[in-house]
């Protein structure tokens, strides 16, 4: 293998730049030619490919987002789209591709690896949701949770000062890891995640109990994908049941995405980028680099693309006990 390429795909996540840097520098260290592909699979379809030098990744380890830019591409989900992508890789003589993204990106990578002759593909989990099977960690999660924690702490200050109930919506359409972890870290009184059934009767019971014992401040953290709905739905419900209560909402949204990556994201992204290139050189294909019990592992895309990473719901129970 003489030429490899790297792209970022799906939602951006802080730490992707550290992974790109590691892929480029590890490739160059081994004497490979390294190419960057802009705007994920869409850029690959359009042939937006350029040769990368070591200076192209200088001074990026501390930057959020992705210097390669990212995109979602409907065209790539079709065999015709992937055939165009394959053609561009072949024109450049690229035989190894590193895809940094989420499980959707890995499904695409698996298809491409199966259809494009002489191409091998390795994935690096880069998504703030931490919802990929086979890895304990995904790049961007730590930075996103820390951003949520910082903002929830600020909101608690004002909630305490005014004796208010706040419902804070954090990111997580299908996964509640940000809600669970920021909720625990901020001492939230209630946490709602997509992985568990939302019991409105329990919520009302808890609120009645708080009213009786005059606990006036309450922080509720809800993942955007909760089955009952987002923060506004919860506010409507509580206002109807407890007229006169001061209920406020805050939707943290994209505040959680950007920003300088934490040391943890930078280190894990560096380890994964380094491992991805070494795995390509060892002959690996259609695999994701993951982290299990602190160790770097590689897992087939078939496993990594499985839906529904199980959540340790015991932690939700613990959070309720600790905030009671």
- The residues annotated with a catalytic role in the active site are 129
User: What tokens appear for 295 in the block?
Assistant: 């160790």
Closer of 102 and 284 to ligand ATP (Cβ)? 102
Which segment (95-103, 143-151, 207-215, 290-298) binds ligand ATP by CB under 6 A?
95-103
Which range in 6-14, 179-187, 197-205, 239-247 contacts ligand ATP by CB under 6 A?
6-14
Q: How far is the CB of 112 from ligand ATP (least distance, A)?
A: 8
C-alpha–C-alpha distance, residues 278 and 273, integer Å: 9
User: Is residue 97 helix, strand or coil?
Assistant: strand
Q: Does 194 interact with ligand ATP (rule: CB under 6 A)? A: no
Helix pair 200-212, 231-241: axis angle to 10 deg: 50
> Residue number with the shortest CB distance to ligand ATP?
104
Task: Give ∠ CA 314-126-174 in degrees, rounded to 5.
Answer: 45
Rounded to the nearest 10 degrees, the angle between the axes of helix 79-92 and helix 103-115 is 70
Question: Greatest CA span in the chain, whole angstroms?
Answer: 72
Stretch that binds ligand ATP, among 5-13, 25-33, 183-191, 192-200 (CB under 6 A): 5-13
To ligand ATP, the closest distance from the beta carbon of 9 in angstroms equals: 5
Rounded CA separation 232/112 (Å) = 41
For residues 12 and 189, which CB has a smaller minimum distance to ligand ATP in the complex?
12
Rounded Cα–Cα distance for residues 275 and 277 (Å): 6
Q: How many whole angstroms separate alpha carbon 205 and alpha carbon 66?
A: 45
Q: Is 76 in the site for ligand ATP (CB under 6 A)?
A: yes
Q: Does 69 bind ligand ATP (CB under 6 A)?
A: no
- Answer yes or no whether residue 73 interacts with ligand ATP by CB under 6 A: yes
Please state the closest distance from residue 288 (CB atom) to ligand ATP, in A.
11
Of 102-161, binders to ligand ATP (CB under 6 A) are 102-105, 107-108, 111, 127, 129
Among 9, 26, 143, 206, binds ligand ATP (CB under 6 A): 9
Residue 265 binds to ligand ATP (criterion: CB under 6 A): no
The residue range among 9-17, 164-172, 217-225, 311-319 that interacts with ligand ATP, by the rule CB under 6 A, is 9-17
b/e string for 234-263 if b means 16 or more Cβ within 10 A? bbebbeeeeeebebebbbbeebbbbbebbe
Q: What token pair was written down for 5?
A: 């390429």
Nearest Cα to 125, choosing from 117, 116, 134, 113? 134
Binding residues with ligand ATP: total (CB under 6 A): 18
Binding site for ligand ATP (CB under 6 A): 9-11, 41, 72-73, 76-77, 101-105, 107-108, 111, 127, 129
């Amino acid at each position: 293998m003489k030429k490899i390429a790297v792209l970022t795909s799906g939602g951006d996540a802080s730490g992707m730049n550290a992974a790109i840097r590691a892929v480029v520098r590890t490739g160059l260290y081994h004497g490979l030619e390294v190419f960057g592909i802009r705007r994920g699979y869409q850029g690959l379809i359009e042939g937006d490919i350029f040769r990368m030098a070591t200076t192209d990744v200088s001074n990026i380890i501390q930057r959020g987002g992705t210097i390669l830019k990212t995109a979602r591409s409907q065209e790539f989900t079709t065999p015709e789209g992937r055939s165009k992508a394959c053609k561009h890789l072949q024109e450049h003589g690229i035989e190894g591709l590193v895809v940094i993204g989420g499980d959707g990106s890995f499904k695409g990578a698996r298809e491409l690896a199966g259809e494009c002759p002489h191409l091998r593909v390795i994935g690096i989990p880069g998504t703030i949701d931490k919802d990929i099977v086979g890895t304990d960690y995904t790049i961007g999660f730590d930075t996103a949770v820390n951003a949520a924690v910082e903002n929830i702490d600020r909101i608690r200050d004002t909630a305490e000062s005014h004796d208010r109930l706040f419902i804070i919506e954090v990111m997580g359409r299908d996964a509640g890891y940000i809600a669970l972890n920021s909720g625990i870290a901020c001492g939230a009184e209630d946490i709602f995640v997509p992985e568990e059934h939302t019991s409105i009767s329990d919520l009302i019971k808890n609120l009645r109990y708080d009213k009786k014992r005059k606990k006036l401040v309450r922080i509720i953290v809800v993942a955007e994908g909760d089955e009952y709905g987002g923060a506004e739905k919860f506010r409507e419900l509580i206002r109807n049941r407890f007229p006169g209560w001061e209920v406020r909402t805050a939707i943290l949204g994209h505040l959680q995405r950007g920003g300088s990556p934490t040391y943890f994201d930078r280190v894990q992204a560096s380890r994964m980028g380094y491992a991805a290139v070494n795995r390509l050189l060892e002959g690996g294909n259609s695999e994701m680099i993951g982290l299990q019990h602190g160790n770097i592992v590689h897992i087939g895309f078939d496993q990594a693309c499985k839906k529904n990473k199980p959540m340790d719901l015991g932690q939700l129970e613990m959070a309720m006990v600790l905030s009671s």
